């Protein structure tokens, strides 16, 4: 088994940056989900409510995050904002500190979405802990939905696409790491494994939502609610929820690269 994709999503709900290698830190891949949009009450904003977010591109240079989308001037954000004042924001059921980025960033996203919003950053000294039903007291996560990384196998996508009238890409599911060389849905049962020199624990199957129906090229939801509709016919579990992919918690830090071996422990 081998690692075939490494993806980060610096601003929650925006497009991926595909990498050839990345450092794995306790809260996930470097720069993954370190920024997020919130409304005036501090509640997180995602492409579930505003699908246009899904077509925003980002690029990381040595000192800045560049944000671009058709019809807007490019926005430049310092990787380490000068502002250190913290505010409380909400991600699902979690409340966590965050740092406001800038008025310029707020104005850019407000103009693009047409609703008042604010861009916030998770500074290095901010800690958001993982749900203790699945992790250890010291486990942490960025602004991702719940866990540091998401893994999907290529075989699982191939199996799904055999069931669809119109195949979808892996980008619909926004994984951080993709692997090949295993059977479809084998990752459902992976608990302890290694990619390169980094050990991971598979802690919870990933419950999927309407985000999977958003076309990553156009930002438009599929009118037939695919691929979620098809997934629900064979990947629904007792108690509700449609699952595709495995959430991970890293158990040590290190560098992973495309082509690294994947080894079950």
Note the pLDDT of residue 57: 98
CA distance linking residue 195 with residue 200, whole number of Å: 8
Is 42 part of a structural domain of the chain?
Answer: yes
Where among 57, 91, 121 does a domain terminate?
Answer: 121
Closest CA to 129 of 119, 144, 116, 118: 144
Note the pLDDT of residue 188: 97
Query: 151-175: per-residue pLDDT in tens?
Result: 999 999 999 999 999 999 999 999 9
Note the pLDDT of residue 238: 75
Note the pLDDT of residue 82: 80
98 and 20 within one domain: no
Structural domain range at position 84: 29-121
Please state the rounded mean pLDDT for residues 41-66: 96
Please state the rounded mean pLDDT for residues 25-30: 97
Query: 54-112: per-residue pLDDT in tens?
Result: 999 999 998 999 999 999 999 999 998 788 889 999 999 999 999 999 999 999 999 99
Q: Which residues contact 187 (CB under 8 A, 6 or more apart)?
A: 151, 152, 153, 156, 179, 202, 245, 246
247 and 154 within one domain: yes
Count of structural domains, the chain: 2
CA distance linking residue 120 with residue 88, whole number of Å: 10
Q: What is the 3-state secondary structure (H, E, C) of 81-122?
A: CCCCCEEEEEECCEEEEEEECCHHHHHHHHHHHCCCCEEEEC
Note the pLDDT of residue 85: 85
Is 96 part of a structural domain of the chain?
Answer: yes
Q: How confident is the model at residue 127 (pLDDT cuts 50, 70, 90)?
A: very high
Please state the rounded mean pLDDT for residues 176-203: 98
Note the pLDDT of residue 239: 72
Helix (H) or strand (E) holding 177: strand 177-180
**Does 119 score more than 90 pLDDT?**
yes
Where among 121, 148, 174 does a domain terminate?
Answer: 121
Q: Report residue 184 as tokens.
A: 């479809």
Note the pLDDT of residue 80: 83
CA distance linking residue 141 with residue 134, whole number of Å: 12
Instruction: Tell me the longest C-alpha to C-alpha distance in the chain.
Output: 50
% of the chain residues with pLDDT over 90: 96
Please state the rounded mean pLDDT for residues 111-122: 97
Other Cβ atoms closer than 10 A to 52: 16
Is 126 part of a structural domain of the chain?
Answer: no
Q: What is the pTM of this model?
A: 0.95
Q: Report residue 34 as tokens.
A: 């370190």
216 and 146 within one domain: yes
- The mean pLDDT value of the chain amounts to 96
Closest CA to 27 of 138, 141, 139, 122: 141
CA distance linking residue 129 with residue 135, whole number of Å: 9
Structure-model confidence comparison of residues 228 and 81, the more confident one: 228
């Amino acid at each position: 088994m081998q690692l075939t994709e490494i993806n980060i999503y610096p601003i929650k709900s925006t497009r991926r940056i595909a990498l050839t290698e990345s450092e794995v830190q306790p809260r996930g891949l470097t720069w993954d989900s370190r920024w997020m949009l919130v409304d005036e009450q501090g509640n997180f904003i995602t492409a579930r409510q505003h699908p246009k977010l899904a077509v925003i591109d980002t690029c990381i240079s040595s000192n800045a995050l560049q944000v671009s989308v058709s019809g807007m001037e490019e926005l430049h954000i310092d990787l380490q904002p000068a502002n250190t004042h913290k505010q409380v924001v909400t991600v699902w059921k979690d409340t966590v500190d965050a740092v406001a980025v800038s008025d310029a960033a707020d104005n850019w996203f407000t103009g693009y979405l047409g609703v008042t919003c604010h861009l916030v950053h998770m500074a290095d000294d901010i800690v958001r802990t993982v749900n203790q039903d699945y992790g250890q007291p010291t486990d942490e996560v960025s602004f991702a939905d719940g866990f540091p990384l998401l893994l999907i196998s290529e075989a699982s996508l191939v199996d799904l696409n055999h069931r669809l009238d119109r195949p979808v890409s892996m980008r619909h599911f926004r994984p951080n790491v993709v692997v090949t060389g295993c059977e479809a849905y084998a990752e459902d049962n992976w608990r302890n494994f290694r990619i390169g020199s980094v050990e991971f624990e598979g802690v919870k199957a990933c419950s999927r939502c309407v985000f999977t129906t958003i076309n990553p090229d156009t930002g438009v939801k599929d009118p037939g609610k695919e691929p979620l509709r098809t997934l629900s016919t064979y990947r629904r579990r007792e108690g509700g929820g449609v699952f595709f992919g495995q959430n991970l918690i890293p158990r040590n830090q290190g560098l992973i690269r495309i082509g690294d071996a994947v080894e079950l422990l």
